[in-house]
Structure 1
Amino acid sequence: GGRTESVRKRYEGLGIPDVHWGCAVKIKTYEAFLERYGLRDEEVLYMGDDIPDYEVMQRCGCPCAPADAAPEIKALAVYISHLKGGYGCGRDVIEQVLKAQGLWLKDEKAFGW
């Protein structure tokens, strides 16, 4: 739909080409993603909020969750956003990563999105 497409374009504009919604068995999508990009678990940041995310959260290197995630998911997360799902938690996590990497507001490109 329109909202999904606008969110997808926003993430792509931030250099995030793979955002998956509506996956029935998330661990299979995750494994295909690893294979597609030649990645290892420890190289992946994953944000989940409910029980279908549990298997991936156990494997990925940087499991994250929104403020309103299920308690079981929050227990696995290394970072829990102060924002709820759908209310900026994805952007929050991206901002935290960029800050940790020293890339937040680094140059004029930061203002072009």
Structure 2
Amino acid sequence: TDGKIVVDAQGKELKFFDVQDGFGLVLLRQAGIKTAILSARSSPAVAARAEDLKIDKICQDAYPKSDVYARLIREFGLMDEKVCFVADDLPDLAVLKRVGLAVAVSNAVAEVKKAAHYITACRGGDGAVREVVELILKAQGKWKNILARTG
């Protein structure tokens, strides 16, 4: 997401999601790549969006994220070097330093950008996830098949 939280007059939390980011996550699933959301907060809106996109695992109230991440990769049977993690703020740093592809969104805090292997051109919640998805799928040689299937 873009990191913004909108609260209506009744105290209900609203979030905005980028459609192209969402479709990127669908493309990952179709390519056989597992996806997960690790959030230090809990949000019904994020849970609903994750379910809609068929995200493999959503971990909310994930703090410290490094502990939740360790359980998650054991569950998925993955090694750190096979994981891409997209980050924006300080609670992400411990995980960012472990993974094979550490990504900071362009509006991430300076410390996260410094720890990243790649900094997106797009802001978080505004195409950054899609940018990373395309980078991964192209690197794995899967992008041409996706284009052939969709176009």
Shorter-chain-normalised TM-score: which range?
Answer: 0.7 to 0.9
Q: What is the letter of the counterpart of residue 37 of structure 1? A: F
Q: Give the match for residue 128 of structure 2.
A: 89
**Runs ≥4 in structure 1, deviation > 6 angstroms?**
none
Give, in whole Å, the separation in 2 of the partners of 1:61 and 1:92: 17
> Where do 1:34-49 residues align within 5 Å?
34-49=73-88
Give, in whole Å, the separation in 1 of the partners of 2:127 and 2:147: 23
Give, in whole Å, the separation in 2 of the partners of 1:98 and 1:45: 12
Q: Give the match for residue 145 of structure 2.
A: 106
Q: What is the letter of the counterpart of residue 78 of structure 2? A: L
> Where do 1:40-79 residues align within 5 Å?
40-79=79-118
Shift in Å, 1:3: 5.9
With normalisation by structure 1, the TM-score equals 0.81
Q: What is the letter of the counterpart of residue 91 of structure 1? A: R
Give, in whole Å, the separation in 2 of the partners of 1:42 and 1:95: 19
Q: Relative CO higher for 1 or 2, CA cutoff 8 Å, sep ≥ 6?
A: 2
Shift in Å, 1:9: 2.7
For this pair of structures, how many residues does the alignment match? 108
Evaluate the alpha carbon distance shift between residue 109 and residue 36 of structure 1 in structure 2; reply closer, same or farther with a 3 A threshold.
farther
Unmatched segments (≥5 aa) in structure 2 = 1-43
**Greater share of helix:** 1
Unmatched segments (≥5 aa) in structure 1 = none
Which of these two proteins has the greater Rg computed from alpha carbons? 2
Shift in Å, 1:83: 0.8
Q: Give the match for residue 80 of structure 1.
A: 119
The Cα RMSD (Å) is 2.3
Contact 1:104/1:110, CA 8 A, preserved across alignment: no
Secondary structure of 2:103's counterpart equals strand
**Greater share of strand:** 2
With normalisation by structure 2, the TM-score equals 0.62
